[in-house]
Structure 1
């Protein structure tokens, strides 16, 4: 996960060296690129679930067919989404608040990124297939290799080297696409030749429809919940854009720092659900409750430590990413001093979402995401911005996370209590 997040962070660092306008342009792209990544995450969750279930029942042929179907479905969906968004680039980014002088820079980056998005999507689905078959090492090594390639190509293509011309912000997109493309070739080789985890013959259309329904039944609610985040970020970006280009640049850096600072939460959100699902299936409700309580407590303590560390390093981080513009540096520091204070609360919300999915209640998770982003987080941030400026926006976001975390924790506890009582009644009747 660290390596996956490094793509955006490395791009942001090198693009920041080009100046404030390129940094602002790349900051505007984050909600849009994360929309496609959210679709990949949701499809990966659905893929992993159906492939693992087939493996668990001993049906290897079904598992291989499901894996191939998942890759084909993902290819079709990402192409469709990329084409639509490519043709709506000006409309989307104008709505986000991007000025006309930034549009050429945004096109330089996004036109290439859209073309290469399929090279990002398919390796993520391939990694889900590997994990569903018990292999977590290969995906990590693959992401590490592609991340290293991206980091090497970034400065070469952005600033030029020898016969390679300086391509600026477009070079960052090309570096990412090339690294993803190499990753795609490797993952296809591993799945088809080395491990033989996908069907060798093309699945029939009727079978593809069946597989697609199975994946989307699980993956769409998960993708929908994930896609709400970039939508909310798009709204916040539009609000921040009213404060100027430097504010957008600083906010973009802060958003990428948030991805790294929340890695512990994101990692636990992947490991807690299998534990809960296993004990849910065994009716070990005490273990489910204990795991949830201890994990949320750990996250609060851990994120507090991370917040304090970020505060100490705020000046260093601001200088590294915005040293050519004092205003950008100020916004970065302002972000770090306020927003990470709510990451522990945000962690409770994320873990509650994952736990609802583990209890086979994906709609609960989706509703909680809607409540968090559009009842509390965005409205509180908007009100804070309206009355107190940029600092009010950041503080409003923290307050929104506080209210949602309280609701999420109580909702999950009540759900567990209801499930325990229902099982007691069933046990007494039997």
Structure 2
């Protein structure tokens, strides 16, 4: 493999009796089984777990909405900021998964275990530092996003607690990536669902009070999240270190940490940066939407959360396709990489078209459920009759981005994200708002997804075809 010098250096840190043989470590499920059946087997547990998690997230939004429009608008303002921390976790998980999956595909579980340990340590340090910075910059950041004095009170109550929850979330998220890299998608689904369930049970108790527990309002929602992910943090460490032994049951020393971090960050930093573009772009659009009033911001916040549940299959595939690609890339099976990508793209386009029809028909009912005020309910209905049309196209971009990372092409993934948000999404949506106000912004988002999907698909097809050509040339010359 191209990283052989790195591998040799890492192995020298340990005695030979700690190594795992290639035969013993070989993982064949993702390398030999039928592509469609394998991806379906991996994705279905992820879908179920994410449905429960996202549903509980919507329950969170629902309970906060009962406090009033200002509270709902306040929690809508927090989405771009909270997603920044989550994006860092996602990026580090991508770096860990791509690297671990590649070494597993090549038959070297010894190195995979070191990367799992290093990834968890790295995520705790980086997310903790970012959360600390966020804690001291709450007011200036949310003022830039357009929050007013009334909303700022609720935002502070929520974010002071949530930053702690964000750090607690780091280990379960990256730990789940380690599990998925090994081909296990069922356990991460259970971890996500359990965390969401704890959050959903605690939400009404802490928000509205119960018995001796006082009503904590929007701060109660943040505390519920903190408790949920602290529980997940303890469990994932036990599972990885003691039960599955996918990581070391100890911290890495400085030399080990530097060695593993370098490789993880080579993919993880561009992936994190690319993921952080999402809250930045949404922050810009939230500021634009804020010019139409608190009702529009509330609509945008509800729409973003509904988008998560409507795109559940895309999000699940974006977690299961990369380890499949990484392991086959490590095994130098480029044809299976290409076939899996094409199969997933065709599926998400058809599936999300069906989802759009369902949301279009159900939009009046959904608007009434998530808003007490008539104006907000009507705006939610308009959102659902337009924006979901672009979810399938957005899925093409998301899956292409995750496939680039799985192939150890993090800069390609990052450039695609920049093109997506700042060449198409923000400019086209903003232009639409200038021409046709809020409805024009919604249609602009759909058009932007169409343009970006075309770029993403053509780019990936050309790249994978070059990979195949290079592989054929290497066979001929050898």
1:73 aligns with 2:122: yes
* Structure 1 residues 60-209: aligned runs within 5 Å: 62-209=111-258
Q: Distance in 2 between matches of 1:4 and 1:216?
A: 28
Of the three residues 350, 361, 364, the one matched with 1:301 is 350
Describe the superposition over 1:124-182 as per-residue Cα deviations: whole angstroms up to 9, x where unpaired: 12222333344433222222222111111100111111111111100100011011111
Inter-CA distance 294–16: structure 2 relative to 1 (3 Å threshold): same
- Return the offset for 1:231: 0.8
Residue 276 of structure 1: how far off its partner (Å): 3.8
**Counterparts of residues 213-228 of structure 1 (less than 5 Å):** 213-228=262-277
Greater mean alpha carbon deviation, residues 332-341 or residues 191-200: 191-200
Which of these residues, 234, 243, 264, is aligned with residue 313 of structure 2?
264
Aligned equivalents of 2:119 and 2:345: distance in 1? 33
Q: Distance in 1 between matches of 2:474 and 2:409?
A: 20
User: Residue 10 of structure 2 aligns with which residue?
Assistant: none
Query: 1:170 and 1:379 mapped to 2: Cα distance?
Result: 35
Match for 2:421 among 364, 370, 373?
Answer: 373
Q: Counterparts of 1:195 and 1:272 in 2: how far apart (Å)?
A: 22
Contact kept? 2:277, 2:421, Cα under 8 Å: yes
Is 362-371 or 182-191 further displaced after alignment?
182-191
Does 1:39 pair with 2:88?
yes
Identify the residue that residue 403 of structure 2 maps to in structure 1: 355
TM-score, structure 1 length as denominator? 0.94
Shift of 1:55: 5.1
Alignment of 1:407 with 2:452, yes or no, is no
Give, in whole Å, the separation in 2 of the partners of 1:412 and 1:53: 19
How far is the alpha carbon of 1:382 from its aligned partner?
Answer: 0.4
Find the counterpart in structure 2 of residue 338 from structure 1.
Answer: 386
Which deviates further from its counterpart, 373-382 or 143-152? 143-152
Deviation at residue 7 of structure 1 after TM alignment: 4.6
Task: Map 1:387-426; keep pairs closer than 5 Å.
Answer: 387-426=435-474
Determine if contact 1:61/1:199 at 8 Å carries over to the other structure: no
Q: Is the 8 A contact 1:319 1:329 kept in 2?
A: yes
Root-mean-square deviation (Å): 2.1
Q: Could you tell which deviates more after superposition, 178-187 or 255-264? A: 178-187
Q: CA deviation at 1:25?
A: 0.3
- Say which SS state the counterpart of residue 425 (structure 2) adopts: helix
Q: 2:432 aligns with which of 381, 384, 391?
A: 384
Match of 2:44 in 1: none
Between the aligned partners of 1:135 and 1:268, the Cα distance in structure 2 is: 14
Write the distance in 1 (CA, Å) between the matches of 2:160 and 2:62.
Answer: 21
Q: Secondary structure at the match of 1:78?
A: helix
Q: Distance in 1 between matches of 2:121 and 2:337?
A: 36
2: CA distance between counterparts of 1:277 and 1:354? 10
Cα distance in 1 for residues equivalent to 2:412 and 2:118 = 28
> Any conservation in 1 of the 2:295–2:375 contact (CA below 8 Å)?
yes
CA distance in structure 2 between the partners assigned to 1:60 and 1:292 by the alignment = 25
Superposed, which structure 2 residues align to 1:43-54 within 5 Å?
Answer: 43-53=92-102
The answer to whether the 8 A contact 1:377-1:397 is kept is yes
In the aligned structure 1, how far is the partner of 2:108 from the partner of 2:330? 21
CA distance in 2, matches of 1:234, 1:176: 22
CA 1:60–1:425: 2 relative to 1, 3 Å: closer
8 Å Cα contact 1:299/1:344 also seen in 2? yes
Shift of 1:210: 1.4
Aligned residues: 429
Runs of 5+ consecutive residues of structure 1 not aligned to the other structure: none
Shift of residue 313, structure 1, vs aligned partner: 1.1
Shift of 1:386: 1.0
- Once residues 198 and 256 of structure 1 are traced to their aligned partners in structure 2, the CA distance between those partners, rounded to angstroms, is 34
CA distance in 2, matches of 1:341, 1:183: 35
State the Cα distance separating 1:78 from its structure 2 match: 1.0
